[in-house]
Amino acid sequence: MDFNSLLTSITDLILDPEFQDIGRKNVITSSLECIKCNETDICNILAWILDPKEGHLQGDYFVKSIINAIYQAADMQLLPSKASVLMRSFSNIQVMTEVSINEIENNKSRRIDLLLADYSSKTIFIIERKDGSIAHSNQLYRYQEWADKHYKSWDKFYVLSDSYERNHGNELPEQYVTLDDSWLKFAIKNILGKEALPTRLEQTFKEIYDFILDEWDENSDPYFKGRQEKVNKVANTHSEIIEALHNHSIIVNNKKINYIEITPSVFYSQLLPFADSLNISPEQMKIFSLIQSNFAGLDIIEEYGEFELILETLKREYRGLTAENNKEHINFSLKKHEVQQEYWPYYLSIYRKEIDGIKNYNVDICVNKNTTTRATHIAEKLLQQYEIKVKTNWKFKRENLLSQLSTIDLTHGSILRNTIDDFIQIANTLPSLKSSVEN
C-alpha cells in the first residue's frame, strides 16, 4: 500500500462514526486506573483496610473477614478454635508494614510485609504479599521461626496473600494458609451492597474493587455497553489498514518503529524534531500526525483485533470450541463441557500483561468447582490429568503453564501451540456433560 492509499485508508477509518465513538469513550474515570501498584503499594492498601482504627469506618470487619477466609482455606494447618477467635474484639489490633526482624541464626535482617498484633487477645498475624513473584530464600520459614520463638503462647496465623496463586513449591511452609484476593473482593462487595457508606468512602471502595483488585468489567458498565462488539466490527471493517500500519515502518536511531507504534510521545520526541534528517515527506508526516492524534482508538482496535484473530485461528484449527474474549484475554473450553449461565468447569486462558511498559503474554489453566453439580467431576478429572494439587476444600484453581511470552505464536511446533494442543487433547478425553450424567 503506497502512501497516498495509506493516507486515504487512515482517513476513512478516522471518519468512521463508530471509530469516533470508540475514541470518545476511551477515557480514564479514576486516577487509580493510571497507577500500576507494586507489592508495597498493595500492602499499604491492605494495611489501611485491615486497621480497625482507620477512616474506612468498618472497625474490625475486615480482620474478621480475613480470619473467616483463613479457616475456609486451611487444610492441615494447626489453628486455634475458630469460634473463640471470632468472638474476640480486634478493635485495638496494631497493623504494621515492612516490619524489620532479625533471623535467629545469623542476625540477618528481614522485613515482614504485614504484621498484625493484638496484645489483649495474644493474637498475631504474619502476612506475606505476592503479586506475581515467588517466595524465596526461605523467607516464609524465617518469619515463622521468628514468631514461634518470640510469641510462643500467642495464637498465630501465617498467611501467604498471593493474587496470582503461583506455585511456591518447597518455599511454602505447611503452617501457612494461601489466600488469593477473593476474600477481600467479597468483603468489599458486601459492604457496597448495603448502600450505607458515605459517598466518599463508597467511591474509595469502588475504586479499590475495580482498579486495585482488577475487577472492573466494561461489560457491566452501562457507559461501555456494546463497545466490544463495536470495536470488533471496526477492526474487521478496517483490518487492511491495521495490517498495513503493522507492515510499514521507519528507522529512527537504528531502531525500527512500526507505524502502529507511533504514539504521541514517539511523534513529538523522535519524529517531528528530526523530520529533515529522517527525510520524512509531507505525506508521511500527515500520516504520522493522524496516527499519533488517534493512537488511543487505534490501540484499542489493534488490541481487540489481536484476540479476535487468535479466536478465529483457534476456531479454524480446533472444532467444538466455546470462547469469550476482550482486549486483554481470551478464555476457551470445549462446547461439550459448556454450562449455560454458570461457570465453566475449566478453561485455558491466554492473557496480556504489561510490566514496566513491556507487554507479554501468559497462559493459565483454570479449573472451577463453583459450577453445577454435574460439571464438578469434569473439573476434578481435569485436575488429575494436569496433576494439579489442590486443598480438600478447593473451589477454584489457576495454574500457570506459560509466562512472559513476547508474542502470540500459533504456528505448529511453537511452545504456545503445543500447550494448546495438549489442552485440547486432554479435554477431549473427558466425557461430555450429557454422557457423564447418563453414567
Reported as a single tens digit per residue, the pLDDT across 287-296 is 999 999 999 9
pLDDT the model gives residue 275: 95
The CATH number assigned to the domain with range 33-212 reads 3.40.1350
- From first CA to last CA, the distance across the chain in angstroms is 59
Mean pLDDT over 313-325 rounds to 87
Give me the phi and psi of 55, to 5 degrees please.
-80, 10
The CA distance from 301 to 235, in Å, is: 6
| Reported confidence tier of residue 202, pLDDT bands at 50, 70, 90 | very high
What pLDDT is recorded for position 107?
66
Residue 391, phi then psi, degrees to nearest 5: -80, 165
Query: Residue 409, by phi and psi: left (phi above 0), alpha (psi -120 to 50) or beta?
Result: beta
Percent over 90 (pLDDT), the chain: 66
Q: State the pLDDT confidence band at 305, using cuts at 50, 70 and 90.
A: low
Q: Which of 23-27, 100-104, 294-298, 370-374 has the highest mean pLDDT?
A: 294-298
Residue 103 confidence (pLDDT): 67
- For 433, the grid coordinates are 456433560
Residue spans of the domains in the chain: they are: 3-27+225-297, 33-212, 317-438
Given this model, what pLDDT does residue 36 score? 81
> Per-residue confidence at 438, pLDDT binned at 50, 70, 90?
very low
Q: What is the mean pLDDT of residues 82-88?
A: 96
Q: What is the pLDDT of residue 319?
A: 86
Radius of gyration of the CA atoms of the chain, in A = 26
Q: What is the mean pLDDT of residues 306-315?
A: 80
Q: How far apart are CA 439 and CA 431, in angstroms?
A: 10
Residue 282 grid coordinates: 509531507
CB 416 within 8 A of CB 405: yes
Look at the pTM and tell me if it is higher than 0.75: no
Average pLDDT over all residues of the chain = 90
* pLDDT above 80 (res 410): yes
How large is the average pLDDT for residues 318-343?
87
Do 137 and 168 meet the contact criterion of CB atoms below 8 Å apart?
Answer: no
